[in-house]
Amino acid sequence: MTLKLHELSPSDPVDQNLIPAIARVHLTAWLSNSLYEAIYYGPPSSHARIIENNRRRHSKTVTSEPSSRYAVVLDDGACGDNTKRHSEQTGPDPNHLIAWAKYDIFERPEAEEERQDTGEIKYPPYTNLPLANHFWDLIVQSRQRVGKSLGGHVSVDQLATDPDHHRRGAGRMLMEHIVKKADELGLPATLEASPQGMNLYTSVGFEPVDEFWVDLLRFEGGEDKGEAWSKEQHRVPGQGPGWYKQVAMIRQPRKTE
């Protein structure tokens, strides 16, 4: 079983066949994370709508956002959810996709603000909307803090590996591909790390520069209990149960030969 990295071409219709598999792995990876378990709290019957929502977002980004890049890792021994192989298929097999990453190349400081795919996010049913919106607000605030003096950069927006294929090197392949691109361009790279990803990102040169905490208990049950509740409960970031930490990281470019 050989792992192979492939970068999607926005102009190749064959690569579009990989988008549903990206959306599937997107959700399976999310549900192994305590934050996203709380955001997408519904039964398995709700997952199809979430996957379809992700498929539409990724398809739009691939075809309409010049700054965005998608890279995937394929395992020729994997079969995915659908074991039927189409004989006429000539490109990468979606059933072999086990991991993927989305990253953006912003060569000018203004480029991040000019993106066309960030508009209002539409969430599917069984989404904890107060928690999802709160988390996104914290992401935006962190990116603004980190990006003030950053200038042009490469932003690693998302990385996901199918939990059945963890610890096989797929995530490292993707990150090494992205940082190589950043080095070739002479640009720093940024990302927001979940607790599970910290060791990987540190190993390829990223260093923490900012962090924020999400109080999952405050949004338990799909409602925001508010700052007053947090004060009454003496909630302190990182102390006690129900806290989730996200870490912003930066990697400075390295000279290429």
Is 90 exceeded by the pLDDT of residue 219? yes
Query: For residues 219 and 35, is the Cβ–Cβ distance under 8 A?
Result: no
**257 occurs within a structural domain:** no
Range of the domain at 218: 3-251
Q: Which of 172, 178, 179, 176 is nearest to 255 (CA)?
A: 179
**Model pTM score:** 0.89
The domain tally of the chain equals 1
**87 occurs within a structural domain:** yes
Is 60 exceeded by the pLDDT of residue 116? no
Residue 60 CB neighbour total at 10 angstroms: 15
Query: For residues 105 and 154, is the Cβ–Cβ distance under 8 A?
Result: yes
Q: What integer pLDDT is reported at residue 77 of this predicted model?
A: 77
| 126-140 mean pLDDT | 94
**256 occurs within a structural domain:** no
Q: Please write the tens of the pLDDT for every residue from 64-113.
A: 899 999 999 999 876 655 544 444 456 789 999 999 999 999 987 666 66
Distance CA 101, CA 96 (A): 15
Q: What integer pLDDT is reported at residue 120 of this predicted model?
A: 61
Q: Please write the tens of the pLDDT for every residue from 50-66.
A: 999 999 999 999 988 99
Q: Which two tokens stand for residue 10?
A: 């926005």
| 150-164 mean pLDDT | 94
Distance CA 252, CA 257 (A): 16
Q: Which two tokens stand for residue 157?
A: 């927006």
> What CATH number should be reported for the domain holding residue 9?
3.40.630.30
Q: Please write the tens of the pLDDT for every residue from 175-190.
A: 999 999 999 999 999 9
Q: What integer pLDDT is reported at residue 146 of this predicted model?
A: 85
Compute the mean pLDDT over every residue in the chain, rounded to the nearest whole number. 90
Q: What integer pLDDT is reported at residue 255 of this predicted model?
A: 85
**176 occurs within a structural domain:** yes
Residue 205 three-state SS = coil
Residue 208 three-state SS = strand
**14 occurs within a structural domain:** yes
**143 occurs within a structural domain:** yes
Is 80 exceeded by the pLDDT of residue 1? no
